[in-house]
């Protein structure tokens, strides 16, 4: 999947005329790494909870936010920053899905006419 997503991102940037492999490859790798890390962290806090009990060395258990959740939030920030630097913003994603969006609008219009 990582290779396919990498190819899709590069194709998108080339289509926009914004691809420079000397600069963008590093950001794409960073983006993909953070996507992978965020998936790992999300699996952890979904299975163990956002609030966890962490024992310390004195035998006392402390209730804290799962460290995986904090790391997940940092990964999301990094993903957002990389996407911005690459020029992949919300509007770009919408432009890539205009046909799908139009299809849904048409179906909704048909339902609302009934």
Q: Which domain holds residue 69?
A: 2-89
Q: Is residue 98 part of a domain?
A: no
The per-residue pLDDT for 38 is 94
- For 39, the enclosing helix (H) or strand (E) is helix 21-48
What's the mean pLDDT when you consider all of the chain? 82
pTM given for the model = 0.72
Residue in the structure block whose two tokens are 């919300």? 90
Q: Is 27 or 103 the better-scoring residue by pLDDT?
A: 27
User: Is residue 43 a part of any domain in this protein?
Assistant: yes
State mean pLDDT over 37-62: 92
Does residue 68 form part of some domain? yes
Domains identified in the chain, total number: 1
Classify residue 105: in a domain, yes or no.
no
**Assigned domain for 28 exists:** yes
């Amino acid at each position: 999947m990582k290779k396919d997503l990498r190819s899709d991102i590069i194709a998108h940037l080339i289509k926009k005329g914004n691809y420079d492999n000397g600069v963008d490859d590093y950001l794409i790798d960073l983006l993909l790494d953070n996507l992978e890390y965020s998936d790992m962290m999300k699996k952890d806090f979904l299975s163990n909870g956002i609030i966890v009990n962490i024992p310390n060395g004195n035998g006392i258990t402390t209730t804290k936010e799962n460290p995986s959740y904090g790391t997940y939030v940092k990964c999301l920030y990094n993903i957002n920053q990389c996407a911005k630097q690459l020029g992949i913003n919300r509007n770009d994603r919408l432009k890539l899905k205009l046909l799908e969006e139009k299809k849904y609008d048409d179906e909704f219009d048909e339902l609302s006419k009934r």
